[in-house]
Amino acid sequence: MSHGAPKKRGTFGLVAEFSSAEALLEAAEQAGSAGYRETDAYTPFPVHGLSDAMRFHDIRMPWLIFTGGLVGAFTGFTLQWYTATIDYPLSVGGKPFNSLPSFFPVTFECTILFAALTAFICTFALNGLPKPYHPVFNTPGFQRATVDRFFFAIEKSDPMYDSEATRKFLEGLGAIAVSEVEN
């Protein structure tokens, strides 16, 4: 175990503070047009069009939910079929053991249940939650992101990131303040 100098903390990126949703939306559009891709926005309420302005398109979630629904339908149907035809066949009114119409309600409900559970679990997994710490929390005044301020971050990992040029770019967008945030 080393007891030498503490590890040098790196820079996370630059975070700009805006006073309105419209200013944030305009900043996101201009940053996307300028070529910045490793960006994120923090707002006190959902801002319509922000994900489009940031060019955020993730197609994984709909496919995962669809797959979860298919697994649910298969599970519900297979469970009923197995119990009605193999495990405990019971002749009711002369109907066949594998009467498909009687399987539809449970199959449908299992489809919805599995799709909903998949959506819930994948939302946490794909967003990296729970996240008790994130470097952007070190931004001065960031606690107002849940009240009345809008923040736009450009991460250092972005290929276009240059400390001085990116700072001037963000200041030129009308930011109230631009802060360099450490990891």
Determine the average pLDDT of the residues in 87-94: 87
Q: Given this model, what pLDDT does residue 131 score?
A: 86
Q: At residue 136, what are phi and psi to the nearest 5 degrees?
A: -65, -20
SS3 35: coil
pLDDT digits (tens, 9 = 90+) for 81-90: 999 999 999 8
Angle at 128 between CA 70 and CA 6, to 5 degrees: 160
Which residue ranges make up each domain of the chain? 11-57+134-182, 60-126
Phi, psi of 67 (to 5 degrees): -65, -40
* 94 band by pLDDT with thresholds 50, 70 and 90: confident
Nearest C-alpha neighbor of 12 from the set 151, 181, 172: 181
Cα dihedral 144/146/151/155 (nearest 10): 110
Place of tokens 């297979």: 78
Strand order in the sheet with 150-155: 39-42, 150-155, 11-18, 177-182
128-144 pLDDT, tens digit per residue, is 899 899 999 999 999 99
Q: Is the bond leading into 130 cis (omega within 30 degrees of zero)?
A: yes
CATH for 11-57+134-182 (3.40.720, 3.30.70, 3.40.50, 3.30.1360):
3.30.70
pLDDT at residue 113, as a whole number:
98
